[in-house]
């Protein structure tokens, strides 16, 4: 080792580093091991809480979408106030979405019954690199050129749901199987 006034020799530093580095690395590895263990425990806790939350959501869904609406239907009620002051109302939502395999039939039905305005149509034709001028020329002459653009028809789900709800409320018959109609009834509880 060196004395106070002497310059340290390289071999003295090497011995010191040999002594200090393994200890520092060992402490860092121990800390890393501890942190990895803490992370694994934290991940397990998050997974446990998420599973509990999902189970609670599932239980709520059964009560609010099945048990309460069915019992209120049995009792012929759409609204109810408990003795403790809770108000229970049944809200109905109509959802609709045309299944892909029924689109041609559904679009034909809409056209035949005067509802073609609900249908959105997107016609596209892909062009490769360097075909910008060609694309501009083709805009007005697609059929004459023998080109076959994609022809995508759709009805926005919100538009379809509103249409179906309106028809059902008016008592008009529509082919619900073509429109994937789903009637969701949910109870809502308001505190006193």
- Residues 171-182 have pLDDT tens digits of 999 999 999 998
User: In this model, does residue 33 exceed pLDDT 60?
Assistant: yes
163 confidence band (pLDDT: 50, 70, 90):
very high
Question: Residues 135-142: what's their mean pLDDT?
Answer: 70
**Confidence (pLDDT) at 171:** 92
**Residue 25 has what pLDDT?**
75
Q: pLDDT tier at 15 (50, 70, 90 boundaries)?
A: low
pLDDT at 139: 64
Least confidently predicted of 64-78, 83-97, 108-122, 138-152: 138-152
Tokens of 48: 């446990």
Residue 2 and residue 9 in contact, taking contact as beta carbons nearer than 8 Å: yes
> Would you state the pLDDT for residue 8?
57
The sign one gets for the Cα dihedral 50, 51, 56, 60 is: positive
Indicate the pTM of the whole model.
0.54
Higher pLDDT, 123 or 49: 49
């Amino acid at each position: 080792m060196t004395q106070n006034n002497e310059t340290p020799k390289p071999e003295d530093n090497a011995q010191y580093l040999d002594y200090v580095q393994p200890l520092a690395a060992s402490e860092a590895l121990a800390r890393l091991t501890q942190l990895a263990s803490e992370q694994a425990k934290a991940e397990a806790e998050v997974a446990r809480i998420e599973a509990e939350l999902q189970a609670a959501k599932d239980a709520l869904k059964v009560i609010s979408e099945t048990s309460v609406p069915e019992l209120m239907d049995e009792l012929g009620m759409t609204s109810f106030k408990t003795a403790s002051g809770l108000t229970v109302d049944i809200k109905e939502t109509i959802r609709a979405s045309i299944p892909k395999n029924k689109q041609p039939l559904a679009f034909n039905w809409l056209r035949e019954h005067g509802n073609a305005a609900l249908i959105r149509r997107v016609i596209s034709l892909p062009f490769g690199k360097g075909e910008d001028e060609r694309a501009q020329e083709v805009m007005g002459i697609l059929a004459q050129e023998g080109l076959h653009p994609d022809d995508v028809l759709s009805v926005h789900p919100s538009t379809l749901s509103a249409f179906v709800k309106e028809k059902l409320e008016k008592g008009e018959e529509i082919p619900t199987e073509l429109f994937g109609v789903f009637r969701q009834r949910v109870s809502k509880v308001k505190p006193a």
